[in-house]
A and B are shown apart, each in its own frame.
Chain A
Amino acid sequence: MEVKPKSACETCAQFNADGLKKLGVNTTDFDYVVALAGNPNTGKSTVFNAMTGLRQHTGNWPGKTVTRAEGAFEYNRQKFKLVDLPGTYSLLSTSEDEEVARNFILFGKPSVTVIVVDASRLERNLNLVLQILEITNNAVLCLNLMDEAERNNLEIDTRTLARDLGIPVVPTSARYNRGIPELIQTVSELANGKIVCKPHRIKNIPKNIEQALEKLSAEIKQVYPDIPNSRWIALRLLEGDKNIIETLKTGEFV
């Protein structure tokens, strides 16, 4: 094992570094499932490695992770199973390599979804973020590659961003382990309900679509009162997604 000097965050009482154990591939008896989603080549696998102490192969090209990898960490005596999903630009397409990510976020019911974005390309990455926020109530934005954003002279107001998105935002540079302790802390607080999200829901939708969505979504809620993503299911139904029609019948996403 490498022994690293502890960063200021790790020694801070707030973070409780002693409570953190990176468990590698040992994913048995976990308390929470955490999904790691994001656009291709935003460093998901690097974040995954930093959180679990694993050494998943990483590389600087989009499409490197094609299967989902699993790892775990323990924080404050709770075990978190972390699932590294293949990168995807959108949940609306039907391509095969994006299917793994799509299905897991919707049907895998992760307790927390960590959405990894490239800080230098935030606008493009938000496309996926906004879609994920339609599906889940418990998410954190991992604003990764902050070192590059800084080199590109970008300044990101993380508070405004967090307020607009309605979820916590943690700036990180996973390659240098920066921000990872804060990310773990946030994930733990989300899982335990200490932070409650009020995720942004897509606003700029034409009126006729919005009305159709509301109608459908209300009907869906009558059958499945407890799901947070009736609007997303309505969206997919309007799209004619056969998968969703099937699962609506079986109730798999409940």
Chain B
Amino acid sequence: MFNHTLMDTKKIDHIISLSNDLRWQIGDEFHDNLAEGIYADAAEIVKDSVHKKDEKGTFRIDAKIDKIITSRIWGFPLMFLILAFVLWLTIVGANYPSAMLSGLLLDTVHPALKGFAAAIGMPWWLDGFLIDGVYLAVAWVIAVMLPPMAIFFPLFTLLEDFGYLPRVAFNLDHLFKLSGAHGKQALTMSMGFGCNAAGIVATRIIDSPRERLIAIITNNFSLCNGRWPTQILIATIFVGALVPASYSGVLSLAAVIAIAVLGMVFMFLVSWGLSKTVLKGEVSTFNLELPPYRPPRFWKTIYTSIIDRTLIVLWRAIVFAAPAGAVIWLISNIYLGDASLAAWLIDSLDGFGFLLGLNGVILVAYIVAIPANEIVIPTILMLTVLVTGISAGEGAGVMFELDSVSATGDILRAGGWTLLTAINLMLFSLLHNPCSTTIYTIYKETKSLKWTLVASILPVIMGFVVTFLVAQIWRLWS
């Protein structure tokens, strides 16, 4: 800070009034004249120091690639093909390491820990709380989530480094404009496919507060990485099983893509709805530079995206899974009268769940899993086991050991799941409240309790409506 004397203050006032006078004298063209002046300087400097050796160069190759990737005919199909290829690699590639990890963590380490606890005479409740609650939740998250993330994130980062994202924005610009939103929302949407909280921070690139708010509220319709594994697992068990084994991979892939695309459809519809009602306004124009294609540095990208993204997201999942595992164990072992707290909750939500084509277990799981979408499936499994009582030998609140996808399917079917339950779970996974981290990020970015509430509640209501309609139509039909 500067301590002004009285004379200085007078001088400053004089400067300000002088600048006002001068502004009038110079007139409106000031800004344009100045910009022209700067560009003239730049042109002179470049003329002396930059020389082009010949006209051929990679600019032309870039232009050729762009002609195909951003063409009216090929732009969209290529986008879906690339998405399909990335997902296919993720689904197929994740199976083997997943099986290995669950074999190690659940079949080998878990019994060993149990044995150790018994050997040192750990009390049953502490052993249950720590090993069956906390440890199993964490182990499940690592075994099921790490492999798909370790494949999906690097692939996504490679595309990002190559320069594909701005082209996606270019392709989708027209649709966003039609829905009254900003074209750069395509970029924040893409970031949302990794993590909604990251996507919401990225909306800062949108200048207009109106369009930025639309981008923030609708970012949740991008399936985030915490929800991809849920989609993939449920599609594999229930949708893939509809056709012979040789086609099941393709069909479950198609189902997952359909959900992701449906999310984009909802994003456009809600953006349109908002821009026609509470967030009315003009669509702003903007410049988007299409950067040159840059060959990604393959190994470096793989390394950094595994270290930075995968491990950070995994760490977050573990941080939330551990207490969630503990909570699950607790609510299944605290009794109100003759039923456990969990059984009581599930019972009371079962009726509402049935209306939505879901069940009480799923709704309780979504309440427990507000901190992180990643733990929805393990919570559902654990609670299902609790309700159906098929876990002979294990105590209440013990997460089931899932050495294979088919074992998971068996548990869910024993819990009364049908194809309708599976489809509605996939829909509800797409359309429900954002996780607590995302909600907090929305609040930080909008600084408005009202918009945070809208962004959190709106998707749940949509989820209820959509699953309700699907359930009613399904039941009428069959």
Contact = CB atoms under 8 A, between A and B. Distances in A.
A29 interface: no
B22 interface: yes
Nearest to A66: B204
Given A55-B304, A67-B201, A204-B40, A219 B14 contact: yes
A195 interface: no
Interface residues of A, number: 69
B307 A153 contact: no
A220 B19 CA distance: 11
A249 B100 CA distance: 67
Contacts, number: 192
A223 B58 contact: no
Contacts of A62: 166, 288-289, 291
Contacts of A249: 9, 12
Nearest to B57: A152
Contact of A222 (B9, B11, B50, B54): B11
Contacts of A41: 289, 291
B26 A238 contact: yes
A57 B153 CA distance: 12
A254 B2 contact: yes
B394 interface: no
A64 B53 CA distance: 32
Interface stretch (A17-25, A108-116, A157-165): A157-165
A130 B49 contact: no
Contact of B205 (A55, A57, A97, A202): A97
- Which of A61, A131, A151, A206 is most buried by chain B, counting CB atoms within 10 A of its CB? A61
Interface in B272-310: 288-289, 291-294, 297, 304, 307-309
A161 B163 CA distance: 29
A165 B53 contact: no
Query: How many interface residues does chain B have, given as a range?
Result: 35 or more
Interface string A235-251: 10111100001001111
Contacts of B205: 63, 66, 97
22 contacts: A40-B289, A41-B289, A41-B291, A59-B161, A60-B166, A60-B294, A66-B202, A66-B205, A97-B204, A122-B50, A127-B39, A130-B42, A152-B52, A152-B59, A156-B50, A158-B49, A204-B41, A208-B25, A212-B22, A223-B15, A237-B15, A238-B23
Given A59-B157, A61-B291, A164-B49, 16 more contacts: A66-B204, A120-B292, A122-B49, A123-B46, A124-B42, A127-B42, A152-B59, A153-B53, A155-B51, A155-B52, A157-B48, A203-B41, A204-B37, A209-B26, A209-B34, A219-B18
Interface of B: 1-2, 4, 8-9, 11-12, 14-16, 18-19, 22-23, 25-26, 30-31, 33-46, 48-54, 56-59, 157, 160-163, 165-166, 184, 187, 201-202, 204-205, 207, 288-289, 291-294, 297, 304, 307-309
